[in-house]
C-alpha cells in the first residue's frame, strides 16, 4: 500500500477505452485523488465540468454497477482520512494559479519516486541518432527548450515544431538517417496533427516517448512510453511548469545514458569561452 492514491487511480483506469469526456473525468480524479472518494457524483461532475450522467456512465465503463460502487472501491484504496481542505479564499487568483502549479510539481515528484520509466526514456533517446523532438502549438516551447539543451550533449537533435505536409517528410528524413525514437511534447489543446504525426512515426518504425498533461491524453494511443506531467488551468492560458521540469529530467536521464555527454559539454564550454559567448 506504499503506492500513492494518484498512482492507484492510474492503474484503475489502465486498459479501458475511454471517451474524451471520460478521459476528462479520469484526469480530474487523478488530480484530486485524495478528495475524490468523498465526492458525490454531482460534485465530481461539477469538478470535471461534465454532466452527472457522464460520471455514472464513466463508472459503468470501468466495470462498476454505478458511481456509488466506484466510490466504495475508491475509499478502499484511498487514505483513511480526507486531506485537509485547501483554503483557496486565502489566496488571490494569481496566487491560486501558483499554488496549483506547486501541487502539480508535487504530483510529478511523487510520480518520479519510480525512476524506471524516465531511465528507460533516457536510454531510448540517447540511442537514437538523429533524435527528432516534436512539439506543436502550445507544446512548441517545451520541445524547443529540450532541443536547445539536448544539442549540447546529443550529436544530432532535430526540432519538429511546425506542422503541415512537411512534417511527415521530416520524420521520413530522420528515419532515413537512422533515428530509432521520437520525443513528443503534447499539451492541451491537443492538435490533431500531433496524433497523426505520432501514428505516422510509429508506422515508420520509431519508438515514441511522450510527455503529456495526462496519461489519458489523446496521444496516449500513439505512444510507446508516456510520462504524464499535469498543466495548470487556473489562468486564461494553461501553465506548464511540470512538463518543462519533466523535460529537464529527461535531459538528465538522456545525458546519463550518453557515454560522451560530459566531454561534449566541456567542449562546448571551451568554445563558448573562446568566443566570449556569455557575459559572466
Q: In a structure prediction context, what are the per-residue pLDDT tens digits for the chain, which is 280 residues long?
A: 456 677 777 778 877 778 878 888 888 888 777 788 888 888 888 888 888 889 999 999 998 998 988 988 888 875 544 445 545 567 888 888 898 899 889 989 999 999 999 999 999 999 999 999 999 999 999 999 999 999 999 999 999 999 999 999 999 999 999 999 999 999 988 999 999 999 999 999 999 999 999 888 899 999 999 999 999 887 888 899 999 999 999 999 999 999 999 999 999 999 999 999 998 7
Q: What is the pLDDT of residue 48?
A: 84
Q: What is the pLDDT of residue 80?
A: 46
Q: What is the pLDDT of residue 72?
A: 87
Long-range contacts of residues 36-41, Cβ cutoff 8 Å, at least 24 apart = 36/9, 36/74, 36/78, 37/71, 37/74, 37/75, 37/78, 37/82, 38/75, 38/82, 39/71, 41/67
- Preceding peptide of 189 cis, ω within 30°: yes
Give the CB-side neighbour count of residue 8, counting CA atoms within 13 A.
Answer: 17
Q: What is the pLDDT of residue 137?
A: 95
To 5 degrees, how large is the angle CA 173–CA 177–CA 182?
70
Q: What is the pLDDT of residue 89?
A: 61
Dist CA 79 CA 75 (whole Å): 7
Dist CA 226 CA 6 (whole Å): 16
Q: Could you tell me the three cell numbers for 3?
A: 503506492
Q: What is the pLDDT of residue 247?
A: 97
Q: What is the pLDDT of residue 79?
A: 54
Q: What is the pLDDT of residue 87?
A: 54
Q: What is the pLDDT of residue 177?
A: 98
- Preceding peptide of 186 cis, ω within 30°: no
Q: What is the pLDDT of residue 78?
A: 58
**Residue (of 256, 265, 254) closest to 129 by Cα position:** 254
Amino acid at each position: 500500500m506504499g503506492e500513492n492514491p494518484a498512482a492507484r487511480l492510474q492503474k484503475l483506469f489502465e486498459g479501458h477505452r475511454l471517451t474524451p469526456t471520460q478521459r476528462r473525468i479520469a484526469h480530474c480524479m487523478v488530480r484530486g485523488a485524495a478528495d475524490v472518494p468523498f465526492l458525490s457524483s454531482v460534485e465530481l461532475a461539477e469538478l470535471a465540468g461534465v454532466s452527472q450522467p457522464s460520471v455514472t456512465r464513466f463508472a459503468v465503463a470501468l466495470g462498476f454497477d454505478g458511481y456509488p460502487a466506484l466510490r466504495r472501491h475508491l475509499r478502499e484504496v484511498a487514505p483513511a482520512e480526507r486531506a485537509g481542505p485547501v483554503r483557496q479564499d486565502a489566496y488571490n487568483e494569481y496566487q491560486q494559479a501558483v499554488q496549483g502549479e506547486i501541487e502539480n510539481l508535487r504530483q510529478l515528484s511523487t510520480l518520479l519516486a519510480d525512476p524506471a520509466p524516465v531511465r528507460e526514456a533516457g536510454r531510448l533517446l540517447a540511442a537514437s541518432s538523429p533524435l527528432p523532438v516534436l512539439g506543436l502549438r502550445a507544446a512548441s516551447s517545451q520541445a524547443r527548450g529540450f532541443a536547445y539543451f539536448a544539442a549540447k550533449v546529443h550529436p544530432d537533435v532535430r526540432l519538429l515544431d511546425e506542422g503541415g505536409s512537411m512534417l511527415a517528410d521530416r520524420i521520413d528524413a530522420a528515419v532515413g538517417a537512422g533515428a530509432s525514437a521520437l520525443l513528443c511534447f503534447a499539451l492541451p489543446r491537443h492538435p490533431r496533427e500531433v496524433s497523426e504525426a505520432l501514428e505516422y512515426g510509429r508506422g515508420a518504425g520509431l519508438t515514441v516517448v511522450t510527455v503529456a498533461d495526462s496519461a489519458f491524453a489523446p496521444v496516449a494511443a500513439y505512444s510507446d512510453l508516456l510520462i504524464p506531467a499535469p498543466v495548470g488551468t487556473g489562468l486564461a492560458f494553461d501553465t506548464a511548469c511540470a512538463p518543462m521540469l519533466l523535460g529537464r529530467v529527461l535531459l538528465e536521464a538522456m545525458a546519463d545514458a550518453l557515454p560522451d555527454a560530459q566531454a561534449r559539454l566541456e567542449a562546448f564550454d571551451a568554445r563558448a569561452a573562446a568566443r566570449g559567448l556569455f557575459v559572466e
